[in-house]
Chain A
Amino acid sequence: MLNNAMNRRTFAATALAGLAVAGLPQQTLALTEASATQLVNSVVADITRVIESGKSESAMLRDFEKIFVQYADVPIMARYALGADARSASKAQMREFTKAFQGYISRKYGRRFREFIGGEVTVKNARKIKAGYEVRSSVKLRGEAPFEVTFLVSDKSGRDKFYNMFIEGVNLLLTERTEIGAMLDARKGNLDQLINDLKKTG
């Protein structure tokens, strides 16, 4: 493990200095670690570009959805958010649910884009975890103390993609699993109805 070999503080300082992984002793891990960090940087750049485009809100939300699909492993996220019910769902239902979920997430979080205007994301460090890489970043919004956002990246889908995110310790996927579970309970477990309603939620 990368962490066994080096002092974490040194590591953070190195990453901050922009040297990222080039100077680290374990070169074998460097490539994926660098690409995980790179993924975070490009998604942040893409989102910033949309926010600063000055487009209408609905056009922005469509752009956010495209970014979400491009950078995130949406099928695995949707599957996890649905929880145990994903196992009994048909293939067609999963496909429909994944599509509805992707729009719901993009609208729900995209709508708050105003809170992120002028925000700055600094990647602090990356390290290996079971499913891929953890990339820790610090987000500074205007007039607020910086807070920690952690991205989890994996290549298990065949490409480097996000599959989860933590904001000050709050697990996005787990929060959504709770929410989707509550929505499903309110519909007495009717998945088709949930899919229909999810298309209009967020």
Chain B
Amino acid sequence: MSNRIRFKHIVAVSLFAVLSACASQPQDAAARGEVFDPYENANRGIHKFNLGVDRFLFRPASKGYVKIVPDPMVTSFNNFAENISLPGQAVDYLLQGNLKQSGNALLRFVINSTVGGFGLSKPADELNLPPVDTDFGETLHVWGFGEGAYVELPFYGPSTTRDAVGVVVNLFSNPINFSPTRPADNLGVYAEVVRRMGDRGRFSDTVDSILYESADSYAQARLIYLQNRRFELARDDEDAYLGLYSDPYADTGTDPVRDPYLDPYEDPYEDPYAE
């Protein structure tokens, strides 16, 4: 038992070391839509490794999975994985100070786990509740941690130093793992792998075109990940602020540090006609 606690302490301490060490990105670089990739060489090595894993293991397994398993069942397994991530998301929303969404995530979990048959279907979707989608990376973002450097994680794929910490924390902090009666240890992790296989199989053409048909798949994956992640984080803020201000865009200033809502819309509207 004491071993376990000590291990957890080490993990926690090292995570914060990573966070503080990697927070060296100039604060407004992300705001200007720039890519901060000081570990590019190492990242490209991991990218090569990940491509190999995908080509020989993940891609064939995923394509086989969606071919053999009927489509509605793949959807059910996806629902299951999503559902058991909900208690963890409720905790993240709580840490972000978003009580409403925290309650929403829990309500969805209870409904889907009971009426939805262990979360295999999602009856909570019919209730017109706002969508639930958060993680510990977002919690760190809400707490004011910067994006940090771009990193590609082995087996996992594109991330940033901040979001990588989030991934590790989410992996080991799913409340399901601490419940007295649980079907298996780390069930959430296995479910997530199956869910990723479903997505990899279903969208294989799109993923293949990025990984295998582009001239520089590393640069494509990096750009797509960073843009999408920044959009996700800004969009959630926008929703949160709609209730407070009549229009979050009305008072966007020119200072991206003081005004974080400026960022995702600054670079995108770069005017190609200006060139």
Which A residues fall within an 8 A CB radius of B? 1, 3-4, 6-9, 76-77, 79-80, 86, 108, 111-112, 115, 127, 129-131, 134, 143, 145, 148, 152, 154, 156, 163-164, 166, 168-171, 173-175, 178-179, 182-183, 185-186
Contact for A143 among B75, B224, B249, CB less than 8 A:
B75
Count of inter-chain pairs, beta carbons less than 8 A: 101
Select one of A143, A145, A166, A179 contacting B131, CB under 8 A: A145
Complex CA–CA separation, A186 to B214 (angstroms): 11
In the assembly, what is the distance between CA of A134 and CA of B264, in Å? 14
A130 to B75 CA separation, bound complex (whole angstroms): 42
Chain B residue, CB-CB nearest to A81: B272
User: Does residue B20 face the partner (Cβ distance < 8 Å to A)?
Assistant: no
A174-B250 Cα distance, complex, nearest whole Å? 26
* B141-189 at interface with A (beta carbon < 8 Å): none
Binding site for A on B (CB under 8 A): 33, 75, 131, 203, 205-206, 209, 214-216, 219-220, 223-224, 227-228, 230-232, 234-235, 242, 246-250, 264, 267-269, 271-273, 275
Most buried by A among B131, B227, B242: B227
A108 to B220, alpha carbons, bound, how many Å? 15
The complex places the Cα of A171 from the Cα of B270 at a distance, in Å, of 11
Q: Specify which chain A residues have a CB less than 8 angstroms from the CB of B214 in the assembled complex.
A: 179, 182
Q: A129 contacts which chain B residues (CB < 8 A)?
A: 269
Residues of B within 8 A of A169 (CB): 227-228, 230-232, 234-235, 264
25 intermolecular pairs with C-beta atoms under 8 Å apart: A6-B246, A8-B247, A76-B273, A79-B275, A112-B209, A115-B206, A131-B269, A143-B75, A154-B273, A163-B273, A164-B268, A166-B268, A169-B228, A169-B230, A169-B232, A169-B234, A169-B235, A170-B231, A174-B33, A175-B220, A178-B220, A179-B215, A179-B220, A182-B220, A183-B215
A170 to B275, CA, bound (A): 21
C-alpha spacing A131/B219, complex, angstroms: 28
In whole Å, how far is B80's beta carbon from the nearest beta carbon of chain A? 15
Which B residues lie within 8 Å of A9 (CB)? 242
Extra A-B contacts (6), CB below 8 Å, given A115-B206, A168-B232 = A112-B205, A115-B205, A129-B269, A143-B75, A178-B216, A179-B215
**Given A143-B75, A169-B232, A130-B271 contact (CB < 8 Å):** yes
- Of chain A, the residue at the smallest CB distance from B242 is A9
Which residue in B131, B223, B230, B232 is a CB contact (below 8 Å) of A174? B223
- Residues A8 and B275 in contact in the complex (CB < 8 Å), given A166-B268, A169-B230, A169-B231: no
Shortest CB-to-CB span from B134 to chain A, Å, is 14
Residues of A within 8 A of B220 (CB): 175, 178-179, 182
In the bound complex, what is the Cα–Cα distance between A182 and B219 (angstroms)?
Answer: 8
Nearest chain B CB to A57's CB is how many angstroms away?
13
Closest residue on chain A to residue B264 by CB atoms: A169
Contact: B232 with A152, CB < 8 Å? Answer: no
CB within 8 Å for A179 and B216 given contacts A9-B242, A170-B227: yes
Residue of B nearest to A175 (CB): B223
A-side contacts of B205, CB under 8 Å: 111-112, 115
Min CB gap B119→A, angstroms:
16
A178 engages B219 (CB within 8 Å): yes
The complex places the Cα of A186 from the Cα of B231 at a distance, in Å, of 30
List the B side residues contacting A86 at CB < 8 Å: 275
